[in-house]
Amino acid sequence: MATVSVRQALKSFGTTRILHGVDVEIADGEFVVLVGPSGCGKSTLLRMIAGLENITGGEIAIDGRVVNNVPPKDRDIAMVFQNYALYPHMTVRQNMAFSMKLAKAPAAIMEEEVQRAAKILGLDALLDRFPRQLSGGQRQRVAMGRAIVRHPQVFLFDEPLSNLDAKLRVQMRSEIRELQQRLATTTIYVTHDQIEAMTMADQIVVMNGGRIEQAGAPLALYDKPANLFVAGFIGSPAMNLLPGMVADGGFRTTGGALLPLPPHAHTNVATYGIRPEHMSLSDDGVEGTIVLVEPTGSETQVTMRMGETVVTGAFRERVQGRPGDKLRVLPDLGLVHLFGPDGARLPS
């Protein structure tokens, strides 16, 4: 178990800069999720921590030791790859024992470790199978087993669930989280799926274009997104982000809708953010025309048009309207997010 510090990490491929000075502090035993859209540099950062990519600038320390020039095998880390990278010509047992075999561990200890990991992951019956004889979820578990037997200081996961179907993904999500809590090993997990990030992380690091947009606890990011990018990225369905300006005693969107502002609001508001779930049906609300109604059972998502502005609302109530009907909705003024012209959150 160890801490991981990334200080001003830079990465360039040729003249293309991928990471522009990234700082991340990871406490011992913490589960950190790096999340962001494709190409934001999150996988590159993970591979730099693993030692599979060299570090163009800055430094990375594991357990206080700077590892910039330490080869991957001496960093005491284990990684689960997106495609699992199981050795196809080895059985599950051989796959899991490979690192110990290279380290010339005695056969008895190897078998004991493999059995222990297999028990944790429910792979006991599959030890003599080849990877091709396993289902996606089982392969995923073998990849984790290969990581567990090494007792590494840090686990690295590179989008491990992206090849699984939706149901299995939810199941493996909780299995990974549970396993991490049991082993209490520092874990860095890369995903582009913000729901995975929200449900699994102790700390989320939102990345975009090679920079960190915001880092913090999942709910802190949800409640107080630092800028427009985080506001739009975290939360599902996504937050309504409506450009416009303060006028006419409220916020006039460029589409023409007039939305109420919280008291003492800043006058320099350029974007008005409200999450769909923070709107309620109210007779004294803002009128909109229904475009689409999507019932999910537990709630109903309604897309409506206010002037030219399209707003999404999610309501606990069952909305009976049809496209073209009028609906009045009211944003919860305590949960409105206001952003300045530079995209940064305005203090409320």
Partner 1 sequence: MSATTAAPVWTKMRPKQGALSRLFDWKPFLAFICLLPAAGLLMTFLTYPLGLGIYLAFTDTTIGRPGIWVGLENFIWLAEDPIFWNAVFYSVFYTGVATIGKFALGLWLALLLNQHLPMKSLLRAIILLPWIVPTVLSAIAFWWIYDPQFSIISYLFIEMGLRETNIDFINTAWPARWSLIAANIWRGIPFVAISLLAGLQTISPSLYEAALLDGASGWQRFRYITFPMLLPILAIVMTFSIIFTFTDFQLVYAITRGGPVNSTHLLATLAFQRGIPGGQLGEGAAIAVSMIPFLVFATLFSYFGLARRKWQQGEGND
Binding to partner 1 by residue 246, rule CB under 8 A? no
- Neighbouring CB atoms inside 10 A of 324's CB total 8
Angstrom distance (rounded) from CA 31 to CA 180:
8
Is 318 within 8 Å of 250 (Cβ atoms)?
no
To partner 1, the closest distance from the beta carbon of 99 in angstroms equals 4
Nearer to partner 1 (CB atom), residue 150 or residue 252: 150
Residues in the chain: 348
Residue 41 phi/psi, 5-degree rounding, is 100, 5
Site stretch for partner 1 (CB under 8 A), options 94-102, 277-285, 300-308, 337-345: 94-102
43-62: contacts with partner 1 (CB under 8 A): 50-52
Can you read off the two tokens belonging to residue 171?
């199941």
Angstrom distance (rounded) from CA 44 to CA 343:
26
- Coil vs helix vs strand at 108: helix
Can you read off the two tokens belonging to residue 308?
């030219």
Residue of 130, 104, 100, 135 lying closest to 114 (CA atoms): 100
- Neighbouring CB atoms inside 10 A of 36's CB total 26
Q: Please pick, from the candidates 60, 78, 190, 319, the single residue that binds partner 1 as defined by CB under 8 A.
A: 78
Nearer to partner 1 (CB atom), residue 98 or residue 346: 98
Q: Please pick, from the candidates 18, 34, 67, 77, the single residue that binds partner 1 as defined by CB under 8 A.
A: 77
What is the x/- site pattern for partner 1, positions 130-169, by CB under 8 A? x-xx------------x---x-------------------
Binding to partner 1 by residue 98, rule CB under 8 A? yes
Binding to partner 1 by residue 79, rule CB under 8 A? yes
To partner 1, the closest distance from the beta carbon of 157 in angstroms equals 13
Nearer to partner 1 (CB atom), residue 85 or residue 220: 85
- Coil vs helix vs strand at 184: coil
User: Cα 270 from chain centroid?
Assistant: 27
Site stretch for partner 1 (CB under 8 A), options 69-77, 117-125, 193-201, 236-244: 69-77
Q: Please pick, from the candidates 7, 10, 81, 177, the single residue that binds partner 1 as defined by CB under 8 A.
A: 81
Nearer to partner 1 (CB atom), residue 84 or residue 222: 84
> What end-to-end distance do the CA atoms of the chain give, in Å?
40
Angstrom distance (rounded) from CA 204 to CA 217:
6
To partner 1, the closest distance from the beta carbon of 105 in angstroms equals 11
Which distant-in-sequence residues (6+ apart) come within 8 Å of 129 by Cβ? 91, 92
To partner 1, the closest distance from the beta carbon of 91 in angstroms equals 11
To partner 1, the closest distance from the beta carbon of 335 in angstroms equals 43
Q: Which residues form the interface with partner 1 (CB under 8 A)? A: 50-52, 71-73, 77-79, 81-83, 85, 87-89, 98-99, 102-103, 130, 132-133, 146, 150
